[in-house]
Amino acid sequence: MAAGKDSPATRALAFGLLLIAIAAAIALAVAYWRDAGTPVLGGLLALALASVAGGLAVWSRAYIPHEIVTGPREPIASPEEEIEALSSDIVRGANSVGRRRFLLAGLLAFTGAAGAAFVSLLRSVMGPSPQWTLTHTSWAGGVRLVRRDGSPIEADKMPEDSIVTVFPEGHIGDMASETVLLRVKPGILKLPPERMAWTVNGLVAYSRICTHAGCPASQYYDTQHVLACPCHQSTFDILDGGRPTGGPADRPLPQLPLGVDDTGHLIALGDFPTPVGPGFWSWSR
């Protein structure tokens, strides 16, 4: 009956594999106590498990009868009468309940009320108001631009063709307010007059959040004056109002209105004109 090739060699193989497994398991415990590295631990664990697996496989082939059996498949579906009987039981039960229409209406009304209560609870789960959060940043008129280390920026100390990531003073690390400040030759900016007024002597600032999927547009190609997003390779022309020039982004990077305070430091004149980051349903509302 046994499918087996029950020979001394098979027996030796199965037993040998089990011995290896035992040895590997003991070695694993020792290796753990001696703080061996990950490859040693993983290797010993793999060896122990694979040897048991191999031993079982040899054992199964040699000593366990491998009968191929044929069994019946009874039809799965019930006879039609059974389904009809079930259906009529359900309908009859429902009818007896349904006759009390006012109770049923009350139950329905309760379900609606409980649903409203449940939806109200979800409001807590949502956190802050989506509309407000998505359309406002921490930028406001008079707020200083500061570097990641908190230092403010003197308007005439920033060299030409330089770039720095800035935040509103007091909100360093605030994702939505993350802004890139660049200085280019004033003459090469291609902005309409009202946007020109938002620059200071070749200094121009844009939201650093890609308008496609919200990654930081962190790479600057200074010869082309292009900001690029490393996630999906969208590119933005910083001379031309942050216009998208390639990749999946289709809205410009919002421009931050810039000004200078009495001490010669850069400030924002207000928040971004449009929401920063990825688009959403009520984006333009």
Tell whether residue 116 is a contact of other proteins (CB under 8 A): no
Of 89-97, 153-161, 188-196, 226-234, the segment contacting other proteins by CB under 8 A is 226-234
Tell whether residue 130 is a contact of other proteins (CB under 8 A): yes
- Taking CB under 8 A as the criterion, the residue among 13, 52, 163, 191 binding other proteins is 52
Of 169-177, 199-207, 253-261, 265-273, the segment contacting other proteins by CB under 8 A is 169-177
8 Å CB contact between 199 and 249 = no
Per the listing, tokens 């079982």 go with 56
Of 123-131, 152-160, 185-193, 260-268, the segment contacting other proteins by CB under 8 A is 123-131
State the number of binding residues for other proteins (CB under 8 A). Answer: 82
Nearer Cβ to other proteins, position 43 or 259? 43
For strands 243-246 and 235-237, give the pairing: antiparallel
Tell whether residue 13 is a contact of other proteins (CB under 8 A): no
Nearer Cβ to other proteins, position 263 or 282? 282
Tell whether residue 126 is a contact of other proteins (CB under 8 A): yes
Alpha carbon 59 to chain centroid, angstroms: 48
Nearest approach, Cβ of residue 178 and other proteins (Å) = 5
Binding mask 28-47 for other proteins (x = CB under 8 A): ----x--x--xxxxxx-xxx
Tell whether residue 212 is a contact of other proteins (CB under 8 A): yes
Tokens standing for residue 247: 């990749």
Tell whether residue 77 is a contact of other proteins (CB under 8 A): yes
> Largest alpha-carbon pair distance within the chain?
99
Between residue 82 and residue 101, which ones bind other proteins under the rule CB under 8 A? none
8 Å CB contact between 255 and 236 = no
Cα-trace Rg, the chain: 36
Of 89-97, 100-108, 124-132, 256-264, the segment contacting other proteins by CB under 8 A is 124-132
Between residue 134 and residue 153, which ones bind other proteins under the rule CB under 8 A? 134
Mind giving me the DSSP string for 172-232? TT-GGG-EEEEE--GGG----HHHHTTSBTTEEEEE-B-TTTS-B--EEETTTTEEE-TTT
Residue 153, beta-bridge partner list: none
Tell whether residue 159 is a contact of other proteins (CB under 8 A): no
8 Å CB contact between 158 and 183 = yes
Between residue 247 and residue 266, which ones bind other proteins under the rule CB under 8 A? 247-251
Nearer Cβ to other proteins, position 189 or 226? 226
As a whole number of angstroms, the distance between CA 127 and CA 124 comes to 6
Nearer Cβ to other proteins, position 69 or 188? 69
As a whole number of angstroms, the distance between CA 227 and CA 235 comes to 6
Per the listing, tokens 């040899």 go with 58
For strands 255-256 and 258-260, give the pairing: unpaired
Nearer Cβ to other proteins, position 34 or 101? 34
- Taking CB under 8 A as the criterion, the residue among 168, 252, 254, 277 binding other proteins is 277
